[in-house]
Structure 1
């Protein structure tokens, strides 16, 4: 990994990933990582591929089957096992995509089909405004309150949240680099700016100019995830909802519910396609059940 032009923290992530892979697959795993970096895939995407792939490799190891000698039957058996464990078709199909990406990289000719999914016309696992208010009330310090409020009030991705600098506080709009290296402005409300200014008074000073910090330095993705999980548990919110992207979903839905046009929501969220944005004009499952109760 030494000859790849990536940040040291990303290199550490990839080294940890490769350590989890059985010795006989380590070289091909490294080649796969390099290929995906060259394709412009994000670190989290590559990490996701390997989480799924390592699970599949462990399944094969138990059966005494070599990854290089599998056939479509083995993948069908793995698919069946995941279904029996209660995994949703969407989760299984994601795993199959990861496996397929790897098999393509080693020129495997194994063919298999994903599980057919009916298009879902309602939103699922979206924070309600009341749940977000409960999360914020549970916050034990202003930093965590500022993090959750920023995710909720801007709809930014966690990778974008970690880009924010001290100098950004007080601005009405901030330029950030989004998915695919595309830049966009995010808007900051007066209320959020006021909260961020209060947070700056107690911000832990560390080397660098990152806005959100802790005793060990600038916060990373894992720390943000832990913060959200911690308060979700206190607020009695389901674990499945407790991730940064749920705030992004809630932000887009709140704008749609308030009559903001799809093209403007797409601009604010940094969506490449309006079809992605159009999802947030739908009702949630809970809203649909409430409508059915009133029929």
Structure 2
């Protein structure tokens, strides 16, 4: 069994059988490509079927010198998934990573923005340009609906159900969910759609995509990061912020204002409530305030 051929088959499995996104498939594939490069560099003759725990531990030990504990844990998880696939396809009877322990890592709390900081970022946008109106609609949507970047980029005109007060979001694994959208955010999207986008000529295959670049194609992830970084700088905010920060802020502000955790889970598209529970740890002062306000022994 050849490593590169096995990796190609694994990538196809992840995409077609598991229904993972292109980004997720790429992430998993990079873990195995790193292993393949190490195997070639060290003249290891073992195949995906014959490689053993000792060899993998040696690989992880050398990789750990360049990786944080969190990255090490993710690498080991990626390897486990690859060998589980080989077992699933009856290429192996065992998983050589079963007895390899991941480093213990603390739960990373997400960075958030205050409501004032979000207002400052959006207010810093130059609305005298068509791109300004588009960028305002983008940032408002990221924050008001708690979207992932991939979900924002795939948002279509046909996904807008403004009369009902929802948008249809396609999340991880092509799973869809309806997310409420505020009237103010509907207004900014409508301005962009009816006053700016209507004058663009979408490229073939992009006619239904909501947010377009100047050439009439879908925006890239890198472009969304650039927009956020530029507007954060314009607003004079020194925090390290990414588009995902708006999603974290969406969830945190909902929780702080009394929203039910289950409702937040549904809006974020989390499969497990455990993932959503991280927001319970973001603002401990808020939790103390809730006890002081509502507990009978306050």
TM-score normalized by the length of structure 1 = 0.74
Matching of residue 144 in structure 1 with residue 135 in structure 2? yes
| CA distance in structure 2 between the aligned counterparts of 1:127 and 1:82, rounded to whole angstroms | 34
| CA distance in structure 1 between the aligned counterparts of 2:29 and 2:190, rounded to whole angstroms | 40
| CA distance in structure 2 between the aligned counterparts of 1:126 and 1:67, rounded to whole angstroms | 46
Map 1:162-241 → 2, pairs under 5 A: 162-166=153-157, 168=160, 170-171=162-163, 172-200=165-193, 201-203=195-197, 204-207=200-203, 208-216=207-215, 217-232=217-232, 237=238, 241=241
1:93 to 65, 68, 73: 73
Matching of residue 273 in structure 1 with residue 272 in structure 2? yes
Distance apart, 1:181 and its partner CA: 4.2
Distance apart, 1:46 and its partner CA: 1.0
| CA distance in structure 2 between the aligned counterparts of 1:283 and 1:138, rounded to whole angstroms | 27
Report if the CA contact (8 A) 1:169-1:196 is conserved.
Answer: no
Pair 1:61–1:237, CA change in 2 (3 A): farther
Distance apart, 1:170 and its partner CA: 4.4
Gaps of 5+ in 1: 1-23, 289-295
| Partner deviation per Cα, 1:185-237 (whole Å, 9 max, x = no partner) | 21111221221122221223314121100133122444434433454566565
2:32 to 53, 68, 75: 53
- Alignment: residue pair count: 261
Gaps of 5+ in 2: 127-131, 288-298
Distance apart, 1:93 and its partner CA: 1.2
| 2:102 alignment partner in structure 1 | 115
Matching of residue 125 in structure 1 with residue 111 in structure 2? yes
Structure 1 stretches of 4+ with a deviation exceeding 4 A read 229-239, 284-288
Distance apart, 1:58 and its partner CA: 2.2
Q: Larger Cα Rg: Structure 1 or Structure 2?
A: 2
Report if the CA contact (8 A) 1:265-1:277 is conserved.
Answer: yes
TM-score normalized by the length of structure 2 = 0.74
| CA distance in structure 1 between the aligned counterparts of 2:6 and 2:191, rounded to whole angstroms | 50
After superposition, the CA RMSD in angstroms is 3.1
